[in-house]
Chains A and B, each alone.
Chain A
Amino acid sequence: MDITTQNPTSPPASRPSEVEQKRAARAATRPGDRVFLALSRGSGVFLLVLMAAIAGFLTYRSALALSENEANFFTTFEWNPTGNPPEFGIAVLAFGTVVSSIIAMAIAVPVAVGIALFITHYAPRRLAGPIAYVIDLLAAVPSIVYGLWGVLFLVPHMQGLYGWLDDYLGWTGIFEWQGGAPRSLFTAGVVLAIMILPIITNVSREVFRQVPQMHEEAALALGATRWEVIRMAVLPYGRSGVISASMLGLGRALGETMAVAMVLSPAFTINASLLDWGGGTFAQNIAAKFSEASVMGRDALIASGLVLFVITLLVNGTARMIVARRKEFSGANA
């Protein structure tokens, strides 16, 4: 230890330059070192190859399906890959995925930011720790359980809310309810919101916790109320973190399969009303149609999966770019 503590005091001139370091490293490599470096670098390269392979093979299978497709892939409202000629498109799926994710985000983001603020700034000290811990654990509950709970417990309990929305907001057309079972995109969105709540909360909480104490104390010293502290010190500091947390949540909502597949009562239609059953999402459609699909049908589903892959890639990539600007935290472990 003594040697290392003396190190910083030695003159910088004794430190080898980068070029020298490289040369020294090359000269000093032993067989063990070389093997180990190759192994670990190989693993890294393997990951890159894997990502490329995922994109490549999905594209290849999609191309097989799309070359047969007689209809426009992006604007067709039908899914009939076994027909003669095969016609299928993702318009309905894109609509359903976007709508359910928007509903999920609209509910989850404000609530999650609220809980994160609650844990970091409002809850009694003794409660804050355990609450954060429990929400951490809830992030690990598998989606199939959310789906089971959603369809067997939440769906019957949505009747009242549906009636209320229809009574008071039915005139907008968006919340018109014909009285069917409440297994619509709206319910799917609510289940998604509950699912992504823990992850958005966890990441936002981490960000809020990293707000410099000085900023908050300075605001308090100027006589700010707690809300003013949050508005002037906490939120501006944590904004990019909250945005990337939301995008991580969005990425999860877009790709969620089983919970949506169980809650939604699918039909290949686009409804003006969110409360009518029908619609579908990319992931849900793949899970629902897969078991009966022919080879052509599978390739068509792979094509829709490729679209989902690209969308989540863009969303997550953007979230990571925002996070990367602040190196101190990362949502990957949340």
Chain B
Amino acid sequence: MSHATLTDKRPGSLRGATLPKWFPWAVAAGSIALGIGISAAAGLRSSIQWGLIAAVLFVLGTYGIAGRVEGRRQAKDRVVTSLVWVAFLLAVIPLASLVYETVKRGVKVLDGYFLTHSMGVVADKDPGGGIYHAILGTLQQVGIATVIAVPIGVLTAIYLVEYGRGKLAKAVTFFVDVMTGIPSIVAGLFVLSTWILILGMGASGFAGALALTILMLPVVVRSTEEMLKLVPNELREASLALGVPKWRTILKVVVPTSIGGITTGVMLAIARITGETAPLLMLVWVTDFINANPFSDAQGSLPVYIYLQYSAGGEAAYDRAWAAALTLIAFIMILNLAARGIARWKAPKTGR
């Protein structure tokens, strides 16, 4: 690699010596080859070791060569560049693997039958069965949570943006922020200790929906607040100047202007709570049968279904778990993409 050092060393040139563009690739190829050579010679089995040796050689090689040709500062820059790339690749591997495995193993049993049948009469070890009862339960529980959380959340956001001044508003803002971080299991424990232990209600889809509401509320408040802040003040002033009462200004001018953003926020919040498992496991319990009444008795739900199938064990159950996971991810991704689509389509027009 020493011929690389021959570039541009004319005296008086404003630029220092630089290595050619292919330099990192050459070093990478060289260090991988060397790494494999050394590992094979030393008889190491683990591919992780091979990679590690190659990576160390790459960093040292880059630093050494670049340090001699371009100077220490450039060498450091190159090392950091390669480290940043390594960080990126390191993160991509598990995340890509997660998506790949879910899709690969999920499509095996995912079909129309799977989506439209329950697990009612299917033993855990047998193939067959489906997730209809789980989809039904998830839609109902998430639906109830949305119906409760959205009005309260949007009204709170309106209070914070349109009315909120002073200590109360500050406290609400702070606790909404803190509330975003409540672990889902703690929300579940709270509903358990009030709804079930103190009020004496039984497990039901509604109890699960209450826990989901707690998790959804702060997300709705936060995103709605951000959106309302984007509404230009001139619109409010124009409306108020025409003698429109404040509440009608808010309902007819402010909210419609930002409705796209609010919808996006709500959809992202729904996407977030759809995957919650722990509170449902303790508040809704589990069933393999279809229960269309969210107000009494155990109900199925997609995340809990995944957990149940995993716990059941065996090839057939694992296949079902993966297929349910794929369905869940697909549902959440579609919600996300739709939400972002709406956000782009209905972005508040802040310019004149």
Contact = CB atoms under 8 A, between A and B. Distances in A.
Interface of A: 1, 3-5, 7, 30, 32-33, 35-37, 39-48, 50-51, 53-54, 57-58, 60-61, 110-115, 117-118, 122-123, 135, 137-138, 140-149, 151-154, 160-161, 163-164, 194, 197-198, 201, 225-228, 230, 248, 251-252, 254-258, 261-262, 283, 286-287, 290-291, 295, 298, 301-302, 305, 308-309, 312-313, 315-317, 319-320, 323, 330, 332-333
A228 to B, nearest CB: 7
Nearest to B88: A118
Sorted nearest first, the 7 A-B pairs with minimum C-beta distance are: A142-B275, A255-B183, A114-B87, A316-B181, A36-B247, A40-B159, A225-B77
Contact of A226 (B77, B306, B318): B77
20 contacts: A3-B237, A5-B234, A36-B246, A37-B163, A40-B155, A51-B175, A111-B90, A114-B87, A114-B91, A115-B88, A118-B84, A118-B85, A135-B95, A140-B272, A141-B329, A145-B329, A160-B47, A226-B81, A227-B80, A323-B177
Contacts, number: 292
Given A42-B155, A194-B98, 17 more contacts: A5-B234, A33-B246, A36-B251, A44-B160, A45-B168, A47-B176, A54-B186, A110-B87, A111-B90, A115-B87, A140-B271, A140-B332, A143-B275, A147-B310, A148-B102, A255-B182, A290-B282
Contacts of A254: 183
B141 interface: no
Contacts of B28: none
A264 to B, nearest CB: 14
A173 B311 CA distance: 32
Interface size class of B (residues with CB under 8 A): 35 or more
B73 A144 contact: no
A197 to B, nearest CB: 6
Interface of B is mostly: helix
B207 interface: no
Contacts of A256: 183
Contacts of B160: 44
Interface stretch (B1-9, B112-120, B121-129, B191-199): B191-199
A122 B85 contact: yes
B216 interface: no
B275 A262 contact: no
Nearest to B318: A152
A252 B48 CA distance: 29
